[in-house]
Amino acid sequence: MIFSLQGNVQELTPTYAVINVQGVGYYVGISLMTSQTLTLNKETFLFIQQIIREDAHLLFGFNTRLEKEMFNLLISVNGVGAVSALILLSTLSLEEIASAVLSRNSALIQKAKGIGAKTAERIIVDLKDKVQKFSNPEENISTFVDNKIKEESLSALEVLGIPKRMSEKLADKIIKQEPSISVEELVKQILKNI
């Protein structure tokens, strides 16, 4: 079983990397989170999860041991495959996934492409006792509040005809700078910055 790889990043895309280890290139599926930490032609170290199927030997790489643990928890849920788990890890941070599970926020989990209501509910039921270590309880409350404020603001902006994708990054940036911002103020700030 391959536990980790250390080598040169030979190819890099948002969904996979080829890690060259002493002349052998390993094709490794990765999340966006891990992809952003890698640099083409630079040395890297990845934790590896190997999945052996009848028709393929697959490698999935993670920048941190925690991300690998979350991946394994997600694929343990019936109906969540490796690709869906990577998409979820690319869409939400580990803390957001944990806080969504703990607060039973099915809608947040469904933001990941390909994860429907039933699968989101299954993730919540199966993992509610296993994701404690990924989130800090105090952060949980503030993340939930931040997400509620962000969601309400983005909905208001959509009504005004501003696409969600356009305003989401701005919202995250502003909330980071001003954690106690109100919905109205957040909408104003986003409108100023567009």
Over residues 124-170, the pLDDT tens digits come to 999 988 988 786 544 444 444 556 777 888 888 887 788 777 788 88
Q: Which residues are within 8 A (CB) of 157 and not within 5 positions of it... i.e. 6 or more apart?
A: 164, 167, 187, 190, 191
The 10 Å Cβ neighbour count of residue 95 is 15
Residue whose C-alpha is closest to residue 2's, from 40, 58, 42: 58
What are the pLDDT digits (tens) for 83-132?
A: 999 999 999 999 899 989 998 999 999 988 889 999 999 999 999 889 88
H or E element at residue 143: helix 137-159
**What pLDDT score was predicted for residue 148?**
73
Tokens of 27: 């094709």
Q: How far is CA 114 from CA 38, 80, 183, in A?
A: 26, 10, 29
Distance (Å, rounded) from C-alpha 37 to C-alpha 44? 9
